[in-house]
Amino acid sequence: MNPIEVSNTKSLIKVKDACIDDSTFECVSLANVTFIDVNLTGIKIANANMSDIEIKDAQLGGAYIHGIGLPPEDHPDFTQGATQRPITFEDCYLGGSTLTNCNLTNVVIKDCDLKGMTINGIAVESLLNSSKKDH
């Protein structure tokens, strides 16, 4: 299969019923692009601005999400004093998932099933129950 090269252009591209498996996109703007009924298995996204992204009705089993937040100090897009806008997770199944070395400052957990959830090895349900008894 011959590669298709598109460079230095801003044009509407409509792709339907196509297979572009194993392709590489570098220095490409995909702002406001819509993907419907797509297979993104094994996709890797690096050094990307994904502000305001919406992922809906997606299966993320086995996903590895890391290095999320504002650019680090050694990154060209780093801005001193900038703050990360909040991220919203709604109607998500995160059972068996792990959060490690994450900044959860001011995170709100509301109307969630916390059975078996632990924080640093301490059962959250026990903490909540003991807190209720103290009040």
Strand partners, 123: 118
- On whether the pTM is more than 0.95, the answer is no
Of 125, 68, 117, 119, give the one whose Cα is nearest residue 94: 117
Write 14-23 long-range contacts (CB < 8 A, 24+): none
Element (H, E) at 122: strand 122-123
- C-alpha 111: how far from its chain's center? 21
Please give the Cα distance from 18 to 90 (Å, whole number): 31
Tens of pLDDT, residues 31-87: 888 888 999 999 999 888 898 999 999 999 999 999 888 888 998 889 999 998 899
